[in-house]
Amino acid sequence: MTISVLDRNRAADAKTPQEPQAPLGALHDAAAGVDEELLPCRTGDAELWFAESPADVEHAKALCIDCPVQALCLDGALERREPWGVWGGELFRQGVVIPRKRPRGRPRKSDQAAYAAEQKQKDGAAA
């Protein structure tokens, strides 16, 4: 993921007194001071951060764990209410952090039966 000077200028132009935004420039400036090989979003496949597969999304989140600008990336994404993607090790959808990406479609019946049996067992142990 590359942030250009144009993105920085657009972010600065988009700021209004009523609605402060975290400019991408701050993230860009912090990332410029770090060895590029330590930034997983710049060394790997950019599509990974916006993947459809839950496994790919979890892989992207795991790559963010050791990133030196993770906190700044997450804070900026929260303030900008990023519409989707992995930012700062968290998955965003419609500007909100969600715990995990669910696969498309309904769960298989065997998964539902196993879940129901597990819940009954927990309920029985609690009583």
- Domain-wise residue ranges, the chain: 5-101
68 neighbors 34 (Cβ within 8 angstroms): yes
Of residues 85, 82, 95, 99, the one with CA closest to residue 52: 85
pTM score of the predicted model? 0.58
- Model confidence pLDDT, tens digit, residues 47-70: 999 998 889 999 999 999 988 988
Distance CA 17, CA 2 (A): 27
Coil/strand/helix, residue 87: strand
Q: How far is CA 71 from the centre of its chain?
A: 12
Distance CA 111, CA 115 (A): 6
Model confidence at 5, pLDDT cuts 50, 70, 90, reads very low
Q: Between 24-32 and 70-80, two packed helices, what is the crossing angle to 10 degrees?
A: 170
